[in-house]
Amino acid sequence: MNAGVKPPVYEYMKKGGAKTTGGNTRIWIGIVMLLILELFVYTWSRVQCVGTGYEISRATADHKAAVAERNKLAIELAHLNSPKRIAKIAGKELGLSMPKPEQIILIGRQ
């Protein structure tokens, strides 16, 4: 080979072409950082979705319990308002009885 002639690769490196690896490194670090940031955001959103799912599940269970309680209270109210029960309490505890026909006074239009 000729000692005075330098290969073209040497000229490329001498002009600063080889220094672009530092720029490439920065680009790759930036890309990796963006990917890591994206993974954090994705993980955060999944955690929020799971937490919201648990809240919905608890709210559904609370709603079912409230509906069951309401139904139970409606049955109890129907029992407390029953005419048989009221007549029994009026007779035994309050000493009331049904009026006799002579005790009834009719008030009407004349």
Task: Round to whole Å and give the CA distance between 38 and 65.
Answer: 41
Residue 23's pLDDT band (cuts 50, 70, 90): confident
**pLDDT > 70: what percent of the chain?**
79
Contact 23, 17 (CB under 8 A): no
Quote the pTM value.
0.54
